[in-house]
Amino acid sequence: MLKKWIKLIFVSLLFIAAQVWLFNPISLFRYATPFIYPVLLLMFPINTSTGALTLFGFFTGLAIDALSGTPGLHTSAFTATAFLRNTLIRPFLSDNILEEGTVGQNMSNTRFYLLLLKILVVHLLLLMLLDAFSLFDPLYLLLRFCACVALSYMISVIIFLITGSSHRIS
């Protein structure tokens, strides 16, 4: 059990570093910036409490904000997404789930990738709406949201395909 949590912490630190130093500088056509760290929510066991997920979301978002120089955007958006995680996964799980397993261990790849898209959409919608309070341009917000979701989803799927069954941390 402890080995799983150590592995999850290591993967989280790796994702935070990749987000801050590799993906944040990318801005395709001034619209699309990939955000891969919401994927971390799918690596937690199904029976993880909402409180633990919310704390994880807060500290992960805080680390990204501190290293990126963004004043609380990632913290608030990722904390809210982490809080909603158990509600978001419920429709994707069947009745015969393994309570100890991760999300990826308890569903088909199709359901897993649909859930990944759902979590990215919720997180990026919150992030973009919070960011839009500074300068609100609805067309720019819509284009940026769609471009970020598409790019983030493609990169996240590629990460899972390259690493094989890494979403099935055991």
Report pLDDT for 130. 87
- pLDDT tens across 62-118, in order? 999 999 988 889 999 999 999 999 999 988 877 665 566 666 666 778 888 999 999
Closest C-alpha to 40, from 93, 128, 104, 96: 104
Report pLDDT for 20. 92
User: In this structure, is residue 15 part of a structural domain?
Assistant: yes
User: In this structure, is residue 57 part of a structural domain?
Assistant: yes
Give Cα separations from 12 to 39, 145, 147 (angstroms): 10, 24, 24
Non-local (6+) Cβ contacts of 43 within 8 A are 8, 11, 102, 103, 104, 167, 169
User: In this structure, is residue 30 part of a structural domain?
Assistant: yes
Number of structural domains, the chain?
1
Report pLDDT for 170. 45
| Contact indicator for 120, 152 with CB cutoff of 8 Å | yes
User: In this structure, is residue 167 part of a structural domain?
Assistant: no
User: In this structure, is residue 169 part of a structural domain?
Assistant: no
29: left (phi over 0), alpha (psi -120 to 50) or beta: left
Instruction: State the DSSP code for 45.
Output: B
Report pLDDT for 54. 96
- Report the length, in residues, of the chain: 170
**Model confidence at 1, in pLDDT bands (50, 70, 90)?**
low
Closest C-alpha to 152, from 109, 126, 119, 129: 119
Cα–Cα distance for residue pair 122/130, rounded to 1 Å: 12
Q: Quickly tell me which residue has 């790849």 as its tokens.
A: 109
Cα–Cα distance for residue pair 18/136, rounded to 1 Å: 29
User: In this structure, is residue 168 part of a structural domain?
Assistant: no
The pTM assigned to this predicted structure is 0.85
Report pLDDT for 111. 87
Instruction: Kindly tell me if the per-residue pLDDT of 32 is higher than 80.
Output: yes
Domain with 76 in it: 2-162
Q: Provide φ and ψ at 39, rounded to 5°.
A: -60, -30
- pLDDT tens across 34-59, in order? 999 999 998 888 888 999 999 999 99
Report pLDDT for 98. 54
* Mean pLDDT, rounded, for 137-151: 88
User: In this structure, is residue 170 part of a structural domain?
Assistant: no
Enter the tokens of residue 165: 């069954």
